Amino acid sequence: MKRPAVFFDRDGVLIEDSGYVFEVSKLRWIDGAREAVKAANDAGCFAFVVTNQSGVARGLYEESHVEELHKVMIDDLAKIGAHVDAFEYCPYHPEAPIERYRRVSPRRKPAPGMINDLLERFPVDVSRSILIGDKPTDMEAARAAGIKGYLFVGPNLEHFLRAVLE
């Protein structure tokens, strides 16, 4: 049975974007972010995170740091009975100083690759799915994947999402 999905960008939507967030100690949730994920869960939607992580390609941190931060986010969400069905991230950048990460990737937003990969793996009702992002590149990725994009500018993600879902 197909279900709608809410695709969340990470930095600037779920967590504060203080520039290449990778240290668990610097994780700060946006107001209402955890509650927004729970609202998506309670509405019967898949909750996905799609995030560019060019800091890996720039040598600022490792993929293991991204994965560790996502585990902490999962644990924080579980404390309020919320969950993310899948995290997708793109560590690539076309001008990366680290050669193995230097490429144009179909998964790097504004390309829709991360979204499309999730659409292939999960029974998503595309016509009822949305992406919430904080940048024009997020909106371009949503459009390219055939889902509606909503630009979040704050202050409270739960209020924003509930208004969109109504």
Q: Which residue among the candidates 11, 85, 134, 138 is catalytic per the annotation?
A: 11
Please confirm, yes or no, whether 31 is among the known catalytic residues. Answer: no
* Predicted confidence (pLDDT) per residue in 105-120, tens digit: 999 999 999 999 999 9
* Predicted confidence (pLDDT) per residue in 11-66, tens digit: 999 999 988 888 999 999 999 999 999 999 999 999 999 999 999 999 999 999 99
Long-range pairs for 159-163 at CB < 8 Å and ≥24 separation?
159/32, 160/32, 160/36, 160/132, 161/6, 161/36, 161/39, 161/40, 161/132, 162/36, 162/39
Please confirm, yes or no, whether 11 is among the known catalytic residues. Answer: yes
* Predicted confidence (pLDDT) per residue in 71-107, tens digit: 999 999 999 999 999 999 999 999 999 999 999 999 9
